[in-house]
Amino acid sequence: MRKPMAVANWKMNKNGEETRQFLRDYMAQASGITGAEAVICPPFTLLATVQQEIGSPAALARGAQNCFWEDKGAYTGEISAPMLKELGCSYVIIGHSERRLIMGENDEQINRKLKAVLQCGLVPILCVGETLQQRENKAALTVVKNQLDKNLQGLHVQPGQLVIAYEPVWAIGTGVNASSDDAQEMIACIRSRLRELFNDELASATRILYGGSVREDNAADLMAKPDIDGALIGGASLEADSFVRIARIIAHG
Ligand code: 13P
């Protein structure tokens, strides 16, 4: 019922030619992946290139890595949800830990961004997750629950219109992934919090992904868990071969 997802977060990587090469390689290898939805989130500057090269989102859906909460106006340097929709985006990553920790994004801003994305008819991929210190202090569950409560406050969301990614900060780009048991435990807690904040229907329909050093060799173990509905992939999504192989594992998981 929840179609699994393989989401590539390219972060601040790739130029136009590298993107075209990736898409050629991807399209040559990806036929037959029907059991998972593949999504690519390139930098803003490459969204038009992806749209030109791959017309149909059915072949490879697109997402952005961030957006602002207003639709238009005097907000120098910002990009709005309607602008992303025009470029063929279906998804927008919101609240990635790199934005929270490096750019200082706070929970209230994330809440406003989520509302803007939903208002525009796009699907947000809300990222939550604890730092290493918070995990060592046994505060991981409380931290993530707090993020959910503040970020999702006052949201009007229909089943299927929200995706959540659990990304423990200590697992991002480190090569050290959360164990599948720890990821399952947290993701089950996220689902049960969604049930409390919204309702059973929304909690059961929401796809919850794991992110943080996902690779070919750990994807199957993670995907075997009942609440893990896919992966948000950073480093291993930059090469088409490895992204396709992980997407295949997710499709068959
Ligand atoms: P890595 O897969 O490189 O650890 O990055 C994870 C991530 O931050 C995806 O959003």
What residues contact residue 92 under an 8 Å CB cut-off, 6+ apart?
Answer: 63, 64, 65, 66, 67, 81, 84, 113, 117, 122, 123, 124, 125
Least confident of 29-33, 147-151, 203-207, 247-251: 29-33
pLDDT over 80 (residue 253): no
The per-residue pLDDT for range 1-29, each reduced to its tens digit, is 899 999 999 999 999 999 999 999 999 99
Is residue 204's pLDDT more than 90? yes
Q: Is 9 in the pocket of ligand 1 (CB under 6 A)?
A: yes
CATH classification of 5-252 is 3.20.20.70, yes or no? yes
Q: CA-CA distance, 86 to 133, in Å (whole number)?
A: 41
Q: Is residue 124 in contact with ligand 1, taking CB distance under 6 Å?
A: no
> pTM for the whole thing?
0.98
The Cα–Cα gap between 9 and 66 comes to 11
pLDDT, tens only, 132-189: 999 999 999 999 999 999 999 999 999 999 999 999 999 999 999 999 999 999 999 9
For a substitution probing ligand 1, which of 5, 10, 11, 126 has the most ligand atoms within 8 Å of its CB? 11
31 falls in which pLDDT band (50, 70, 90)? confident
Q: Tell me what the pLDDT averaged over the chain comes to.
A: 97
pLDDT of residue 58: 79
Average pLDDT over residues 100-111: 98
78 has catalytic annotation: no
Q: Could you state, in order of their start, the residue ranges of all structural domains in the chain?
A: 5-252
Residue 130 among the catalytic residues: no
Q: What's the confidence (pLDDT) of residue 12?
A: 98
